[in-house]
Amino acid sequence: MSDILKDKVVLVTGAASGIGRAIAISAARHGAKAVIVSDVTETPHEGGTQTTAEIEALGVLTRFQRTDVTQHAEVDALVDAAAEFGGVDVMVCNAGITLREDGPDVAESDYRRLMAVNLDGVLFGAQAAARQMKARGKPGSIVLMASMGGIAGAGMTVAYSTSKGGVVLMAKALADALGPDGIRVNAICPGTIDTHLLRTNPGIAAASEGFRQRTPLRRLGKPSEIGDAVAWLGSDMSSYVTGIALLVDGGLLSVI
Ligand SMILES: NC(=O)c1ccc[n+]([C@@H]2O[C@H](COP(=O)([O-])OP(=O)(O)OC[C@H]3O[C@@H](n4cnc5c(N)ncnc54)[C@H](O)[C@@H]3O)[C@@H](O)[C@H]2O)c1
């Protein structure tokens, strides 16, 4: 499709399904040298093996590594594994969850479980990647998965919005901290994207039809459309872009 990621090693968490899987495959389509596919389980929905098989079919080096992003040591080991290909150039901290029961009365255990994946897991990934980039003296691009729910609030997703708003500010703070080393950090904020997460969460599934009707482009987004945006943020085409929260939402948050 393009070679904007030529010679780059891309690592994606939560990449065995949905948006993460699409990001990993897009990276291969955009010319990455190697794509490391990681997830907490190899077969959540579509499957890690299927993802690596598609990437291999594109002639790109790949491997699956099981990693729970809430476990600091596992995330460090994941990033260390990129050394096999020369080290990570593009780190995509994508893994994230929603809750079946979210909102103002969210249960403490659910809240902590969600924060552990959506916030802690994202920070651990960014930290490990930045450390490796600095040690190699080869700055790269770190992309953090936020959401339109991190820019505009929704009463039914109080915990989720809180976590994604945190990711947006995490990107800005890390961009400030790591910019002097040449490392770029950006957040990406998808709108309503047609994935398993959307179809299996009844509250979000019900809301999505309303979102679709209000979206200027009048359709849900495709996972590959997030993959292409991440490829751009990971590439040198965006070399002066850091600290942004890039909305990829069909225009939904631009209208009233
Ligand atoms: N689908 C949407 O409309 C939408 C919109 C905005 C943002 N997002 C975000 O995009 C990301 C991907 O969502 P998706 O829609 O592809 O959902 P998904 O459920 O299909 O994929 C999420 C992946 O994360 C993995 N994961 C969960 N916990 C993990 C952990 N502890 N360690 C490692 N991996 C773990 C899951 O196994 C799964 O493969 C999430 O961060 C989500 O919040 C999705």
Query: pLDDT tens, 6-63?
Result: 999 999 999 999 999 999 999 999 999 999 999 998 777 778 889 999 999 999 999 9
For residue 180, the one-letter residue type is P
Pairwise CA distance, residues 222 & 224, whole Å: 5
Which residues have a catalytic role annotated?
A: 147, 160, 164
Tell me if 178 CB under 6 Å of ligand 1: no
Q: Where are the domains of the chain?
A: 9-248
The answer to whether the beta carbons of residues 81 and 34 sit under 8 Å apart is no
User: Which pLDDT tens digit goes with each residue over 84-136?
Assistant: 999 999 999 999 999 999 999 999 999 999 999 999 999 999 999 999 999 99
Q: Which atom of ligand 1 is nearest to the CA of 220?
A: 3
pLDDT beyond 80 at 199: no
Tell me if 145 CB under 6 Å of ligand 1: yes
- In CATH terms, the superfamily for domain 9-248 is NAD(P)-binding Rossmann-like Domain (3.40.50.720)
pLDDT of residue 231: 98
Centre of ligand 1 from the C-alpha of residue 16, in Å = 9
Confidence of residue 243 (pLDDT cuts 50, 70, 90): very high
pLDDT of residue 200: 75
Centre of ligand 1 from the C-alpha of residue 75, in Å = 16
- For residue 88, which of 28, 137, 133 has the smallest C-alpha distance? 133
Tell me if 196 CB under 6 Å of ligand 1: yes
Number of CB atoms found within 10 A of residue 222's CB: 14
User: Which pLDDT tens digit goes with each residue over 166-190?
Assistant: 999 999 999 999 999 999 999 999 9
User: Which pLDDT tens digit goes with each residue over 136-170?
Assistant: 999 999 999 999 999 999 999 999 999 999 999 99
Centre of ligand 1 from the C-alpha of residue 243, in Å = 22
Helices of type H across the chain? 18-29, 48-57, 72-81, 108-115, 121-136, 158-178, 196-200, 202-214, 223-234
The answer to whether the beta carbons of residues 164 and 147 sit under 8 Å apart is yes
Q: Which residues pair with 193 in a beta bridge?
A: 221
Centre of ligand 1 from the C-alpha of residue 197, in Å = 7
Tell me if 192 CB under 6 Å of ligand 1: yes
User: Which pLDDT tens digit goes with each residue over 53-90?
Assistant: 999 999 999 999 999 999 999 999 999 999 999 999 99
Q: Which residue has the higher pLDDT, 224 or 41?
A: 224
Residue reference for tokens 């040449």:
182
